[in-house]
C-alpha cells in the first residue's frame, strides 16, 4: 500500500502504523445547520455525506474497523419530528449506500439496541447487513440506539445468566470474559477515537473499550469533517507513544 499525502501539511501516513480500529462520535450536525441558517435535518443529511467520504478513505488507507456513533439512546429526547427524520435517514442510508459499500468491499455491522427501532428502520438495517455480509474489507460498525452503560448492563445480565445456569464460575470472570459479552465481541478495542464538533467527552460511547484508546478532538463539525481532517487525525495518532498504562 502506498502512503497517502495530506493536503494540509504534506505529511505522509505511515502504512505500517495505521490504527486497526477507529471510532468516531459524529457530532455537530445540528450546530452546523444553525451556523448555516438551515434546519437541523439538513445537518443530518450532510452528515451522511461526510460518513460516505470517511468510510471510503478509511478503507483506502487500510483501517480494518470503523465504528461510528449514529444514534444514542439519549437522542430519543429530541423533537419528535427530528427523530422521525433520523429514522427516515437511516432507511435512506441503508438503501442508497449499499452499492457504494459493496463497491468498496465494506461489510456493515449494527451494534446497540437497534431491534427496538421502528420496523422500517430495523428492516433496512437488517437488509444492509445481509447485502454486505460477504465483503472482506473494512468492517463498518454503525452504533444505533446505542448506550455504553446499557451495553455494560446487558453484558452483566448475560454473565449472570451463565452463572445461574452453571456455565460460568464467578471467579472465572476476567477482562476477556466481559469483552466477549459486549456488542464488540471478537473485535479489538479502538486504537483511536475521533470526536468532531468541539466537545471533549465520550458521551456514553464505548466506555469499556476505550480504556487505552487515543483521543483526538476537533472543533470541526461533522458535516465539514473531510478526508483531510481524518488523515490528519491518523497522523496525530501516529505521533503518540502508546504505553497502555506502563511507564
Q: Is the pTM of this model over 0.75?
A: yes
E strand intervals along 38-124: 65-72, 107-111
Kindly give the parts of the chain with pLDDT less than 70. Answer: 1-11, 73, 76-78, 85, 246-247
User: Which cell is 231 given?
Assistant: 488523515
Q: What is residue 47's predicted lDDT score, i.e. its pLDDT? A: 93
* Structure confidence at residue 11 (pLDDT): 54
178-186: long-range contacts (C-beta < 8 A, 24 or more apart)? Answer: 178/208, 179/208, 179/209, 181/154, 181/155, 181/156, 182/151, 182/152, 182/155, 182/208, 182/209, 183/111, 183/112, 183/146, 183/151, 184/67, 184/111, 184/141, 184/209
Give yes or no for a contact between 71 and 90, defined as CB atoms under 8 angstroms apart. Answer: yes
Point out which residues pair with 65 in neighbouring strands: 21, 139
Is residue 75 part of the annotated active site? The answer reads yes
The catalytic position among 60, 75, 88, 204 is: 75
Output the pLDDT for position 83.
Answer: 79
What pLDDT shows up at residue 243? 78
Per-state percent for the chain, helix, strand, coil, to nearest 5: 50, 15, 40
Exactly one of 9, 17, 27, 105 is catalytic; name it: 27
9 is a catalytic site residue: no
Q: Which of 147, 208, 212 lies closest to 177, judged by CA?
A: 208
Write down the pLDDT at residue 40.
Answer: 87
Q: What is the pLDDT of residues 159-204, one digit of tens each?
A: 999 999 999 999 999 999 999 999 999 999 999 999 999 999 999 9
The rounded percent of the chain whose pLDDT value lies above 70 is 92
- Domains of the chain in sequence order: 24-151+190-225 (3.40.1180.10)
Amino acid at each position: 500500500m502506498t502512503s497517502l499525502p495530506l493536503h494540509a501539511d504534506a505529511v505522509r501516513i505511515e502504512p505500517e502504523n495505521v490504527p486497526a480500529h477507529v471510532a468516531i462520535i459524529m457530532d455537530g450536525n445540528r450546530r452546523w445547520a444553525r451556523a448555516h441558517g438551515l434546519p437541523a435535518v439538513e445537518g443530518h443529511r450532510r452528515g451522511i455525506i461526510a460518513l460516505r467520504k470517511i468510510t471510503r478513505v478509511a478503507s483506502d488507507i487500510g483501517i480494518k474497523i470503523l465504528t461510528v456513533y449514529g444514534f444514542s439512546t439519549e437522542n430519543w429526547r429530541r423533537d419528535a419530528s427530528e427523530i422521525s427524520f433520523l429514522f427516515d435517514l437511516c432507511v435512506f442510508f441503508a438503501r442508497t449506500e449499499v452499492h457504494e459499500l459493496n463497491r468498496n468491499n465494506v461489510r456493515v455491522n449494527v451494534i446497540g439496541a437497534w431491534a427496538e427501532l421502528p420496523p422500517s428502520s430495523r428492516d433496512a438495517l437488517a437488509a444492509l447487513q445481509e447485502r454486505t455480509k460477504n465483503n472482506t474489507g473494512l468492517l463498518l460498525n454503525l452504533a444505533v440506539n446505542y448506550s455504553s452503560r446499557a451495553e455494560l448492563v446487558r453484558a452483566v445480565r448475560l454473565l449472570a445468566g451463565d452463572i445461574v445456569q452453571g456455565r460460568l464460575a464467578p471467579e472465572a470472570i476476567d477482562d476477556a470474559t466481559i469483552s466477549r459479552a459486549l456488542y464488540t465481541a471478537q473485535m479489538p478495542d479502538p486504537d483511536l477515537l475521533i470526536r468532531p464538533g468541539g466537545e471533549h467527552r465520550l458521551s456514553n460511547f464505548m466506555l469499556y473499550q476505550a480504556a487505552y484508546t487515543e483521543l483526538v478532538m476537533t472543533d470541526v463539525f461533522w458535516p465539514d469533517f473531510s478526508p483531510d481532517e481524518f488523515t490528519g487525525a491518523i497522523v496525530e495518532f501516529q505521533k503518540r507513544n502508546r504505553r497502555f498504562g506502563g511507564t
